[in-house]
Amino acid sequence: MQTNRLVAWRDELVQRWQWQRRETDFAGVDYRDRISVTSWVLVLGFGLSLVLELPTTMIGFRALGSPTSLELSATTLMAFVLAVAAAAGTESLIRLHPKRQANRLGLTWAYWALPSAISIITVVLLPGIPTRLFQVGVILVSGLLLVIAFFSLYTTVEPGQPGFRRARLWLDILSYGAALLLFLFVYQSRTRSLLSGTMISLTAALLAVELLRSATNETRSVLMYSAVVGLLLGELTWALNYWPLLPGLTGGLLLLLSFYLAVGIALQGLQQRLTGRVLAEFAIFGVVALILVVVFGPGF
């Protein structure tokens, strides 16, 4: 009996020592320094993407009985590398938070999507900008958006803290903006539905995780709803690809509208507030927005 008490006392001392050591480690590293280093690394990567020259490689394969090709260029490579770097920087930042184990999901990878999306968008946009001055401006703006995203992500690790609502609003704005641009990039490429539908489905699912992660502490529910949102967007992309005369801008707006409605309904469902009245409000908004796209969007 006495031996068991000694063992329990020893284990308690070890746990306290480990906790104090971790608190000391957190106190010795400023999360703002981590944000600064990660942001500058990504900004330098954006600049490097403009001067890096690599031969374009075409990968051909057969999918569903028909030939398909995938283009790998310097832009594609840098977009992938910087997306991984953004995810790694986000991971190191979120792990620095002392309350990360007490957040609603406890999943650090749920924070990766937005910084990676901003990095991909920047690398894809830069080659199409006509002047160096505008390219530098876009790089600096992207760096600023990354800083805002990193600070907002860190603030939303622990719900209910001062600044949580403001940070959540910034994340929502950036996520929907990133979704629109990525949808436009993929849809305007006019690749086969197998590729474009898959890419948009994955993009929608990952950004949906970011938009829904603060709504509940049930990890399985968030992942399930996000997967449904991604599946719906992938199916819609497959259907829109049968409309060859539809301009890319109009297609991207339709995808964004569908994404907004799907995420909004999922959010209400996770918060147990999905009623007939809420569905009617979403339906009215969807009809009005669709009419505006039809009237003002090119291609109708």
SS3 letters across 47-115: HHHHHCCCCCEEEEEEECCEEEEEEECHHHHHHHHHHHHHHHHHHHHHHCCCCHHHCCCCCHHHHCHHH
Task: Tell me whether residue 22 is exposed, middle or buried, using C-beta atoms within 10 angstroms of its C-beta: 0 to 12, 13 to 18, 19 or more.
Answer: exposed
Please give the pLDDT value at position 69. Answer: 62
Give the count of alpha carbons within 13 A of 270, CB side only. 25
Domain annotation covers residue 113: yes
Selection from 41, 273, 244 nearest residue 147 by Cα: 41
Cα gap 22→172, rounded to integer Å: 32
Cα torsion through 291, 279, 234, 80, rounded to 10: 100
Residues 82/112, Cβ–Cβ less than 8 Å: no
Backbone angles phi, psi at 174, to 5 degrees: -65, -35
Domain annotation covers residue 119: yes
> CA torsion sign, 15 to 16 to 19 to 25?
negative
Backbone angles phi, psi at 138, to 5 degrees: -65, -40
Strand pairing partners for 63?
Answer: 66
Cα gap 136→126, rounded to integer Å: 9
Q: Per-residue pLDDT for the chain (300 aa), expressed as one digit of tens each?
A: 445 554 454 455 444 444 444 444 444 567 888 999 999 999 999 999 888 876 766 666 565 556 566 666 778 889 899 999 999 999 989 888 776 654 455 567 889 999 999 999 999 889 888 888 999 999 999 999 999 999 999 998 887 778 888 999 999 999 999 999 988 888 777 677 677 778 889 999 999 999 998 888 788 888 899 999 999 998 898 888 887 777 778 888 899 999 999 999 999 998 888 888 989 999 999 899 888 887 776 665
Domain annotation covers residue 13: yes
pTM (two decimals): 0.81
Domain annotation covers residue 218: no
Backbone angles phi, psi at 57, to 5 degrees: -115, 130
Cα gap 253→181, rounded to integer Å: 10
Cα gap 215→267, rounded to integer Å: 7
Domain annotation covers residue 149: yes
Residues 106/169, Cβ–Cβ less than 8 Å: no
What's the number of domains the chain is made of? Answer: 1
Instruction: Provide the residue range defining the domain that includes 57.
Output: 8-161
Please give the pLDDT value at position 244. Answer: 73
Structure tokens at 61: 């394969």
Cα torsion through 41, 44, 46, 50, rounded to 10: -150
- Angle value at C-alpha 180, between 135 and 220, nearest 5 degrees: 125
Per the document, the length of the chain is 300
Please give the pLDDT value at position 264. Answer: 93
Domain annotation covers residue 89: yes
Please give the pLDDT value at position 179. Answer: 92
* Amino acid (1-letter code) at residue 180: L
Domain annotation covers residue 65: yes
The 10 Å Cβ neighbour count of residue 178 is 23
Please give the pLDDT value at position 121. Answer: 93
Domain annotation covers residue 268: no
Cα gap 101→134, rounded to integer Å: 42
